Amino acid sequence: MPLPLFWLGAAAVSALAVKELADDRKKQQKNRDRSYRPTSLSELDKHESPVGIYPSEIFNTEQKVKPTVGSIVCCGIGGILDHTGIWVGDDTIIELDGNGLIKPISPSRFTKERSGNKIFVACDSKANPLSSELAAQRAIEQIYQYLDYHLIENNCHQFIWHCIAPNDTGLTTFKQLNQRLAKLHNKKVYWDLCDV
């Protein structure tokens, strides 16, 4: 009898956690809607995250955004990880594949072999893509080259950041990529649904 009670308790805690996440997302959206200009990092509280809304297959964002050349895009992998690429125009994304090949792919191929079926664009609080045409050019110049891919030390996030800031120190996580994007653009990052 204690085991079913345990599962009921776990289900109740999970439901509360999901509700809390949904409420926080709504709060972030309201704060976003109230602002008349993009939120800069100097406006954040000391311990406030530089990411307003993370990409989520469960909780959609209200904004749909057309990516611009040099936009950072992502999709989910297994509900736990995120895969990133650079939008270079003409419905093309440059990505570092898990085999180390840097390649151009369509949006449908970007999500095809991954669990996430939605693409998100890194934006400011006014749904303007955080983009760099120079980063897109650097990505294009590396097409069909191979890198020594490593899930932690040389992954897609590192490739993206290297295209943005080739002389900067490396990074390994999606969180670090978000923090550096926020700092580079001096804006809070919102991952909006890609409108393609």
Q: Which two tokens stand for residue 64?
A: 């749909």
Do the domain assignments include residue 27?
Answer: no
Do the domain assignments include residue 90?
Answer: yes
Looking at the predicted structure, is the pLDDT value of residue 71 above 50?
A: yes
Query: How high is the pLDDT of residue 15?
Result: 46
DSSP 105-149: E-HHHHHHTSS----EEEE-TTS-B-B-HHHHHHHHHTTT-B---
Give counts: helices (H), strands (E), the chain. 5, 8
pLDDT in tens, 135-187: 999 999 999 999 999 989 999 999 999 999 999 998 999 999 999 999 999 99
Looking at the predicted structure, is the pLDDT value of residue 28 above 70?
A: no
Overall number of domains in the chain:
1
Provide the residue range defining the domain that includes 131. Answer: 35-194
| CA 158/CA 50 separation, integer angstroms | 19
pLDDT in tens, 99-145: 999 999 999 999 987 777 899 999 999 999 999 999 999 999 999 99
Cα-atom radius of gyration of the chain, to the nearest Å?
18
Do the domain assignments include residue 11?
Answer: no
Do the domain assignments include residue 20?
Answer: no
Do the domain assignments include residue 144?
Answer: yes
Do the domain assignments include residue 51?
Answer: yes
CATH number at residue 165: 3.90.1720.10
Do the domain assignments include residue 161?
Answer: yes
Query: How high is the pLDDT of residue 53?
Result: 85
